[in-house]
């Protein structure tokens, strides 16, 4: 999540503050370590119930914003609010049974996440898979520690988990700060923030140079087109709805469909990466071709336009539009990427290139219209459920593979972060008053 915020702020702001990020990471990691060790001590400096109160307050704030949201944003806010209420309420009770329930919930969640990381690393073999597998094994051992009553009989569950999370995120900030120190002045942030993808670097020219030949009126919207496997023929899908939505769908004839993703910016950019020859995707061979190894690399091809692709196949299932983006960085990324047409079903596919193109285009989107970002808006962004979801989706894709379903939800979440609905306490109060008035009249 922190990497996403830095990306959306842009290299111009973040690069100058690498020392601040480094020190913030050290302090954050130190406080996390203190919180974890304090929870293991019977003489608390920070009582666990106080952490629960903070979560409940954040849950209330999230619930208040959920009432004014619509669609996916509304569901995400209610989900986050309920999760915070449940965990914060149990922590605030500070009772043995509440601590036991928390330990079971958190332990199972961490164990499942670790098992998924180990499994995906073992199957997909993406770059850095050994490190991801080691992290997954570490999560499994940590889950066992959380589920084990020794030494505090579950009293330290909240403090240890929050402390460990803060410690790891703080160390991540330290690592980012050190990498930013070495970043050239004219280089973008997106390559150093990407993990788990085959590495290629690109150095875009400054935006004021890349857009000399294109007036703002000539540049259209940035549109992400997604064909989800389940959206193409939902009545014929034999696999589970969730698996079909995010991984691959199997129809009644046993054929495997992974869907497709493309990105368009009129008038001159259309990113749609296909294998030159259709890959055999029968269930018997699917496990082998999922591996992100060079022996699964094939020659690819790039389609020229959405109109031609839709005419030759079908209309996309969903479209996500962006009005605020850097056209120069997007063109620079595309000019480098299309020099190599190599296609890999897992590691260099239609979805991974769209995700990377989004990173290039949306870098600095939060500060595109102003040199400074108000602290109040920055705090709202950090507390945004959409940012939290985008971070989780990105983490899951980097430890497995980008798929059209993940790209669709990732693009929707980023769109909500960059252009959030205008929500204020005054508008919430006015909406509640209108609802009450209509109820009284009826």
Task: Write the pLDDT tens digit of every residue in 299-327.
Answer: 999 999 999 999 888 889 899 999 889 89
CA atoms within 13 A on the CB side of 347: 26
Task: Write the pLDDT tens digit of every residue in 135-151.
Answer: 889 989 988 988 887 77
The pLDDT, as a whole number, for residue 199 is 43
Measured CA to CA, the distance from residue 289 to residue 354 in angstroms comes to 21
Instruction: Give the chain's mean pLDDT.
Output: 77
Higher-confidence residue: 249 or 328? 328
The pLDDT, as a whole number, for residue 375 is 65
Least confident of 243-257, 264-278, 388-402: 243-257
Structure tokens at 166: 């803060």
Q: What is the DSSP letter of 344?
A: B
Over residues 428-439, mean pLDDT: 57
pLDDT band at 232 (very low <50, low <70, confident <90, very high): low
The pLDDT, as a whole number, for residue 211 is 47
Q: Which residues contact 2 (CB under 8 A, 6 or more apart)?
A: 169, 172, 173, 176
Least confident of 7-16, 250-259, 420-429: 420-429
């Amino acid at each position: 999540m922190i990497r996403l915020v830095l990306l959306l702020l842009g290299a111009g702001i973040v690069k100058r503050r690498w020392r601040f990020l480094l020190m913030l990471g050290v302090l954050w990691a130190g406080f996390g370590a203190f919180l974890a060790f304090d929870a293991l001590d019977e003489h608390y400096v920070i009582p666990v119930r106080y952490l629960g109160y903070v979560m409940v307050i954040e849950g209330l704030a999230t619930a208040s914003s959920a009432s004014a949201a619509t669609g996916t944003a509304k569901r995400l806010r209610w989900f986050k609010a309920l999760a915070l209420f449940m965990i914060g309420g149990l922590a605030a009770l500070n009772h043995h049974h509440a601590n036991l329930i928390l330990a079971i919930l958190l332990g199972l969640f961490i164990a499942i996440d670790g098992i998924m990381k180990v499994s995906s690393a073992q199957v997909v073999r993406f770059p850095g898979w050994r490190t991801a597998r080691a992290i997954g094994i570490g999560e499994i051992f940590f889950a066992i520690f959380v589920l084990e009553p020794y030494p505090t009989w579950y009293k330290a569950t909240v403090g240890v988990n929050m402390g460990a999370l803060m410690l790891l995120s703080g160390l991540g900030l330290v690592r980012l700060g050190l990498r930013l120190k070495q970043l050239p002045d004219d280089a973008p942030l997106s390559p150093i923030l990407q993990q788990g993808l085959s590495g290629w670097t690109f150095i875009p020219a400054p935006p004021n140079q890349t857009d000399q030949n294109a007036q703002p009126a000539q540049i259209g919207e940035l549109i992400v087109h997604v064909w989800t496997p389940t959206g193409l023929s939902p009545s014929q899908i034999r696999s589970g709805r969730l698996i079909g939505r995010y991984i691959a769908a199997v129809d009644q004839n046993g054929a495997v469909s992974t869907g497709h993703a493309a990105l368009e910016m009129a008038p001159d950019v259309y990113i749609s990466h296909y294998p030159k020859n259709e890959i055999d995707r029968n269930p018997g061979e699917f496990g082998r071709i999922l591996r992100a190894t060079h022996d699964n690399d094939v020659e690819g091809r790039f389609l020229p336009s959405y109109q031609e692709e839709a005419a030759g196949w079908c209309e996309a299932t969903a479209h996500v539009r962006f009005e605020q983006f850097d056209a120069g960085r997007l063109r620079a990324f595309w000019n480098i990427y299309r020099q190599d047409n190599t296609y890999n079903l897992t590691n260099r596919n239609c979805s991974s290139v769209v995700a990377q193109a989004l990173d290039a285009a949306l870098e600095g989107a939060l500060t595109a219209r102003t040199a400074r970002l108000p602290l109040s808006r920055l705090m709202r962004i950090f507390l945004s459920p959409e940012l939290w979801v985008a971070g989780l989706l990105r983490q899951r894709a980097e430890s497995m593979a980008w798929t059209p379903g993940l790209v669709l939800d990732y693009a929707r979440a980023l769109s909500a972060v960059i252009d959030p609905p205008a929500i204020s306490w005054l508008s919430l109060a006015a909406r509640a008053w209108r609802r009450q008035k209509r109820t009284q009249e009826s």
